[in-house]
């Protein structure tokens, strides 16, 4: 039987943290008041408390109720905390980074990241983040509909949150794949001169995703392979599945990086080829005009006696001679394979 308490008190402006608790007797408690959290913690049973670090009253629970280390509490307020896993007496402290495309910008390649802090104890899980995180909201909605899933253990809830956070990379990869397909069409089919700028933007996007994912790989490697009293070997198998997802995403990002490098090289090659064609055309024009310049310059000198100057057909003879010399130069250049 579930007991639901409103998440905010009429007398207090700050919202309460989201909590899900399942007692040993099978009673479920959803969204209790913060003053009830110590009682639930003392009773035992799996407890998940989701805290918004932007709400001061919620953030105070980390110190007053759970008694976490001050350095870990300080990291929860740092928006640029390093992705890591640290083991404290009685609990694990994990930081991972959730990534999504920014919705409030006109740049389609702009990313938005949020740090997700997780404290895993023997029978409790505390998650801390600034503002909403889609992966946490998804698991919260699932457990709220079926609180009995929490009876599998808080470490399974941690696995579900990490799995949802990592799976959020796959829609990003699909979008990056669409970006690359569009760039390849612009480079190879239309030869858009502005495509190079977008190639650099998408390449920077791929490198950013890889930079965010790389430390998460190390965290999941530790969760998968390091023995711990808080994560049993049968649960580590689930984390191994998340670790495999990280490896798969990392391989796809490497593939995208190579494709972008090849696309950029192909663009520069086409620029060079087009420049070569233009240069070849200008060379032909210059070769054809060279006899005209030489012959016209010689017969245009200010001398009183110049051959053919008084001959009625002298102009046409010199014109044909110039054309013949130009054609002869082109034949010679083609035989030398310079054109």
Collapse the DSSP code of 188 into the 3-class scheme (helix H, G, I; strand E, B; otherwise coil) and give the result. Answer: helix
**Contact by Cβ (8 Å): 124, 49:** yes
Q: Model confidence over 229-251: pLDDT tens digits?
A: 888 888 899 999 999 999 999 99
Q: Model confidence over 181-215: pLDDT tens digits?
A: 888 888 888 888 788 888 889 999 999 999 999 89
pLDDT category at 8 given cuts 50, 70, 90 is very low
Q: Which of 15-29, 187-201, 246-260 has the highest mean pLDDT?
A: 246-260
Report pLDDT for 312. 74
Choose between 127 and 103: higher pLDDT. Answer: 127
CATH 3.30.460.20 domain span(s) along the chain: 1-151
CATH 1.20.58.340 domain span(s) along the chain: 281-335
The two tokens of residue 255 are 């593939």
**Contact by Cβ (8 Å): 127, 91:** no
* Other beta carbons less than 10 A from residue 318's beta carbon: 19
> Considering only CA atoms, which of 115, 37, 48 is closest in space to residue 77?
115
Report pLDDT for 301. 66
**Contact by Cβ (8 Å): 237, 106:** no
Report pLDDT for 265. 84
What's the residue count for the chain?
339
Mean pLDDT (the chain, rounded): 84
* Residue % of the chain over a pLDDT of 70: 92
Residue 150 has pLDDT above 50, yes or no: yes
Given this structure, which CATH class describes domain 281-335? mainly alpha
> Considering only CA atoms, which of 56, 211, 51, 174 is closest in space to residue 124?
51
Lowest mean pLDDT among 78-87, 123-132, 192-201: 192-201
Distance (Å) of CA 111 to CA 23, 114, 136, 173, 327: 40, 10, 18, 13, 60
Report pLDDT for 4. 36
Q: Model confidence over 280-328: pLDDT tens digits?
A: 777 777 777 777 777 777 667 666 677 766 777 777 877 788 788 778 8
Residue 148 is classified by DSSP as: G
Collapse the DSSP code of 98 into the 3-class scheme (helix H, G, I; strand E, B; otherwise coil) and give the result. Answer: strand
CATH of 1-151, picked from 3.90.1150.10, 3.40.50.1010, 3.10.310.30, 3.30.460.20, is: 3.30.460.20
Choose between 239 and 2: higher pLDDT. Answer: 239
Residue 7 has pLDDT above 50, yes or no: no
Q: How do 2-4 and 18-22 pair as beta strands?
A: unpaired
Report pLDDT for 125. 94
């Amino acid at each position: 039987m579930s007991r639901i308490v409103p998440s905010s008190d009429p007398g207090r402006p700050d919202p309460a943290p989201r909590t899900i608790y399942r007692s040993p007797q099978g009673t479920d408690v959803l969204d209790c008041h913060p003053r009830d959290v110590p009682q639930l913690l003392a009773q035992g049973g799996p407890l998940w408390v989701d805290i918004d670090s932007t709400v001061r009253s919620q953030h105070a629970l980390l110190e007053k109720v759970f008694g976490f280390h001050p350095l870990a509490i300080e990291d929860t307020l740092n928006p640029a905390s390093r992705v890591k896993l640290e083991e404290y007496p009685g609990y694990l402290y994990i930081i991972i980074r959730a990534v999504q495309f920014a919705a409030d910008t006109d740049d389609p390649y702009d990313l938005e990241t949020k740090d997700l802090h997780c404290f895993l104890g023997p029978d409790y899980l505390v998650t801390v983040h600034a503002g909403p995180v889609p992966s946490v909201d998804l698991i919260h909605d699932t457990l709220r509909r079926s609180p009995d899933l929490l009876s599998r253990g808080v470490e399974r809830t941690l696995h579900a949150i990490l799995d949802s956070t990592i799976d959020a990379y796959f829609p990003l990869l699909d979008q990056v794949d669409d970006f690359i397909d569009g760039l390849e069409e612009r480079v190879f089919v239309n030869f858009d001169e502005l495509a190079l700028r977008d190639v650099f933007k998408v390449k920077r996007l791929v490198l950013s995703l890889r930079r965010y994912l790389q430390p998460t790989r190390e965290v999941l490697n530790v969760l998968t392979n390091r023995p711990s009293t808080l994560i049993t070997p049968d649960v580590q198998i689930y984390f191994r599945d998340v670790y495999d997802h990280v490896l798969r995403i990392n391989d796809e990002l490497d593939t995208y990086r190579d494709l972008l490098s090849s696309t950029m090289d192909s663009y520069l090659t086409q620029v060079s080829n087009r420049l070569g064609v233009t240069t070849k055309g200008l060379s032909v024009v210059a070769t054809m005009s060279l006899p005209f310049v030489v012959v016209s310059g010689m017969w245009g000198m200010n001398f009183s006696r110049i051959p053919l100057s008084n001959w009625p057909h002298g102009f046409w003879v010199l014109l044909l001679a110039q054309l013949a010399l130009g054609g002869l130069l082109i034949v010679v250049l083609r035989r030398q394979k310079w054109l």
